[in-house]
Amino acid sequence: MKVLHLADGPRNIRAERAALVAKKEGINTHFIAGNVTEDLIKKSIFKKKHFINLTPKNHLLMDLKDFEKSLSEFIEEVNPDIIHSHNIFMGKIAKKTGLPYLYDDHELWSQKIKCFKRTGLRAQLGITYQRFFHPRWEKELANNTSVLVPSNGILNFYETQYKTNNVYYFPNMPVLEEVNKIKLKKQRTDSLITAAIGVSTKSTSKHRKIDGFVDLWKTNNDIGKILIIGQDDLKSSGNVISTGRVSHNKCYEESSIGHLGIIPFKPYKKYHIFSGANKAYLYIHAGLGLITPYTQVEFKPVIKEIGMGYQFKDYTDLVEYLRKNKDQLMNTNRDKIISIARKKFVLDNFSNNLKMAYEKAVEING
């Protein structure tokens, strides 16, 4: 089976992981098209790449003539058996090709689009358009092909809202090939270190609010230090350690000096129930405990399994947890967490779900 991944970019780690997992099931030929320019896990995962520039109108399924012409030429060249689409508008485009296709719903866009705020008339019109059409596109795709989803919350949404059984759990976990290359640093022993990856202090989205988060370490000297990974505009100072931007693989290495990894967003029930964030699994594969808001229910069993972590109700609750458990958190068994992560929380364990999703998509659309 030859698979063409249709992805939005400039990078798409979920497409890379899917290709690596599929190879374990004997699906060895993968291509990628879209505006993807970077490989995150390793080079040469895809036999051929085809860059297609995307405009804001394309995301709204407008002005597609040039995009579709370029895609059609690439499809004719590589002759795929199935298209693996990695965005809701890519799913709609894949459907138009007439080839078997599946939809990989990374975000549950019908619900996530409700979280965004935009300023400016054009941006507000775009959001209004997407809020109207995304639920309709999502339902159409759910009723016409198989769907991959990264969390049990999204799985339940598809089963209850769209009445489909053609939905398959494919979590945002790393593959073994990815984590077996991790180089760990020596864990700090002088202070409790809490790591936060890819956290923007400028986000206004309802599901990503962190106002006051970094200040917790500026005003509470008894909760250790915060390690911010990936934010270029934040400088190290006092109890705040900032690495600036680093590569995906370096995130494992940088965070491994710490004891806990945190998803710091303030609880937001309306969307967090669908969250299956990649960074939660990244933390545990680096040997860290896991902290999330209590509304991210996907990670409650993960914390229970590794035996280290917490789900906070608000920032006051978070500070109390760190203060009360500081000594214990600095003396946990990192090797034990890593061992559990390698056995329980790798995407390789879900290769059969991917294979079944492909087979069902071909059955429905072949």
* CA 116 to each of CA 193, 205, 276, 344, 351: distance values in angstroms, whole numbers, following the listed order: 31, 5, 18, 33, 33
> Could you tell me which residues are beta bridge partners of residue 244?
229
**Whole-number pLDDT of residue 231:** 87
Asked if the model's pLDDT at residue 109 lies above 70, the reply is yes
Token pair recorded at residue 73: 């030429």
Average pLDDT for the chain: 95
User: What CATH number should be reported for the domain holding residue 26?
Assistant: 3.40.50.2000
Asked whether residue 161 falls in the same domain as residue 185, the answer is no
Note whether 34 and 52 are within 8 A (CB).
yes
For 256, phi and psi rounded to 5 degrees? -70, -10
- pLDDT-above-70 percentage for the chain: 99
**Whole-number pLDDT of residue 112:** 94
Asked whether residue 280 falls in the same domain as residue 149, the answer is no
Q: Closest Cα to residue 113, out of 6, 7, 209, 206?
A: 206
Note whether 203 and 301 are within 8 A (CB).
no
Tokens 């996530």 correspond to: 112
51-65, 97-111, 198-212: least confident range: 198-212
Token pair recorded at residue 41: 């896990």
Once rounded to an integer, what is the mean pLDDT over residues 324-352? Answer: 96
Asked whether residue 138 falls in the same domain as residue 12, the answer is yes
Q: Which three-class secondary structure string do you get for 53-68?
A: CCCHHHHCCCCCHHHH
User: What is the tally of structural domains in the chain?
Assistant: 2
DSSP β-ladder status, 147-149 and 2-7: unpaired
pLDDT tens digits, residue range 274-313? Answer: 999 999 999 999 999 999 999 999 999 999 999 999 999 9
* CA 82 to each of CA 27, 31, 196: distance values in angstroms, whole numbers, following the listed order: 11, 11, 37
**Whole-number pLDDT of residue 44:** 86
Note whether 132 and 109 are within 8 A (CB).
no
Asked whether residue 215 falls in the same domain as residue 323, the answer is yes
Cis peptide bond upstream of 10, omega within 30: yes
Asked whether residue 227 falls in the same domain as residue 147, the answer is no
Asked whether residue 241 falls in the same domain as residue 316, the answer is yes
Asked whether residue 181 falls in the same domain as residue 158, the answer is no
- SS3 category, 290: strand
Q: Closest Cα to residue 85, out of 71, 65, 64?
A: 71
Asked whether residue 312 falls in the same domain as residue 196, the answer is yes
> Could you tell me which residues are beta bridge partners of residue 31?
4, 48
- pLDDT-above-90 percentage for the chain: 88
89-103, 120-134, 218-232: least confident range: 120-134
> Could you tell me which residues are beta bridge partners of residue 291?
262, 310
Asked whether residue 339 falls in the same domain as residue 192, the answer is yes
**Whole-number pLDDT of residue 201:** 65
CB atoms near residue 344 (< 10 Å): 14
**Whole-number pLDDT of residue 126:** 85
Asked if the model's pLDDT at residue 203 lies above 80, the reply is no
The whole domain housing 11 covers 2-173+347-365
Task: Give 234's pLDDT tier (boundaries 50, 70, 90).
Answer: confident
pTM: 0.95
Q: Cα 276 to chain center, whole Å?
A: 7
Once rounded to an integer, what is the mean pLDDT over residues 349-365? Answer: 96
Asked whether residue 338 falls in the same domain as residue 354, the answer is no
- Length of the chain (residues): 366
> Could you tell me which residues come within 8 angstroms of residue 162 by beta carbon, excluding any fewer than 6 positions away?
138, 139, 142, 143
**Whole-number pLDDT of residue 345:** 98
Handedness of CA 76, 77, 82, 83 (dihedral sign): negative
- SS3 category, 16: helix
- SS3 category, 88: helix
